[in-house]
Amino acid sequence: MEGEIFPQVLWTLGPLKITDTLATSVALTLVLWLTGWWLTRHLRLHPGPVQTAVEGAVLAMENAVRDLVPRHVDRIAPFIMGLWWFLLTANLIGLIPGLQSPTRDLSITSALALLVFLSVHWFGIRIQGLKAYLRHYLQPFPFLLPFHLVSEITRTVALAVRLFGNMMSLDLVALIVLMLAGFLVPVPVLMLHVVEALVQAYIFGMLALVYIAGGIQAHEVKARGETR
C-alpha cells in the first residue's frame, strides 16, 4: 500500500533518485508537447471540432489571465496555461490503472509552488522594475513588511501542501474504499477524484495568477488609471 500511495524511486544515478512521479511528470511533458505539436500541425482558418476545442480552451485560459492582467497577457499566459495543462493531466492521470498522479508527491507540488513564488517576483520585477516592486512590500505601511514576507512564504507553502494534500487524500481514500468494499464500489470516489482534480488544477493555476497579478498590481492600477 505504501508503494501505491507514496512516490517510489525507480532509478538511482549516483546522488540522483528518479522517482515514478518525476518520470510520470516528464512523460506528461512529452505527451503534452507531442499532443500540442500534433494538434497545431495542421491548423486551418476554418477549424474542425478538435481545433475548435483547442482554440476554445486556449482562449478561455487567456481570457482568465486577461481579466486580471490585461496588459501583460502574452507574457504571463504561457506560464499559467502550462500550470493548468500540466496539473489537469497530472491530476487526472491517476485514474488510469497502473499510473499515479505526480501531484500526490510533495516534491512535485513544492517545485510548482516554488516556481509560482519565483514567477511572482520575476514578473513583478520585469514589469515594474526592482525598486517599484520592492516598494510594494512597504505599502500601505512599512510596518506591514513582516506580514508581507510571512504571507509570501505561507501562501507558497499552502499552495504546495493544498494540492499535495488533496490529491494524496483522494488517492488514499480511493485505495481504502477499494480495499474495504471491493470492485466497483470506489467508482463514485473516482468520480469525485475527477471533479477534485479539475478543481485543484483550476485553484492552483488561479491562485498563481492572482499572486502574480498581486505582484504587479501597482503597475496595473497605474496603467488602468492612464487608460481611463
22 counts as binding other proteins under rule CB under 8 A: yes
* Type and span of the H or E element at 137: none
Distance, CA of 59 to CA of 205 (rounded, Å): 15
Within 8 A by CB and 6+ apart from 8, the residues are 19, 20
Q: Which residue has the cell 481611463?
A: 228
* Shortest spacing between CB 106 and other proteins, in angstroms: 6
Query: How many angstroms from the chain centroid is the CA of residue 95?
Result: 18
C-alpha cell at 194: 475527477
- Cα angle 133, 139, 145 (rounded to 5 degrees) comes to 85
C-alpha cell at 10: 525507480
Residues 148, 137: contact at Cβ < 8 Å?
yes
178 counts as binding other proteins under rule CB under 8 A: no
Query: Could you give the residue ranges of the DSSP H alpha helices within 69-144?
Result: 73-92, 106-128, 130-135
- Contact pick of 66, 81, 121, 161 for other proteins (by CB under 8 A): 81
- Contact pick of 66, 92, 95, 110 for other proteins (by CB under 8 A): 110
Cβ nearer to other proteins, comparing 61 with 197: 61
95 counts as binding other proteins under rule CB under 8 A: no
- Contact pick of 4, 50, 53, 59 for other proteins (by CB under 8 A): 59
Number of residues that bind other proteins (CB under 8 A): 47
133 counts as binding other proteins under rule CB under 8 A: no
* Shortest spacing between CB 223 and other proteins, in angstroms: 22
54 counts as binding other proteins under rule CB under 8 A: yes
Which of the ranges 1-9, 146-154, 199-207, 217-225 carries the binding residues for other proteins, by CB under 8 A? 1-9
200 counts as binding other proteins under rule CB under 8 A: no
Distance, CA of 186 to CA of 178 (rounded, Å): 6
Which of the ranges 8-16, 171-179, 190-198, 208-216 carries the binding residues for other proteins, by CB under 8 A? 8-16
Within 8 A by CB and 6+ apart from 223, the residues are 71
User: Where do contacts with other proteins occur on this chain (CB under 8 A)?
Assistant: 6-7, 9, 15-19, 21-22, 25-26, 28-29, 32-33, 36-37, 39-40, 43-45, 47, 51, 54-55, 58-59, 62, 77-79, 81-82, 85-86, 102, 105-108, 110-112, 114-115
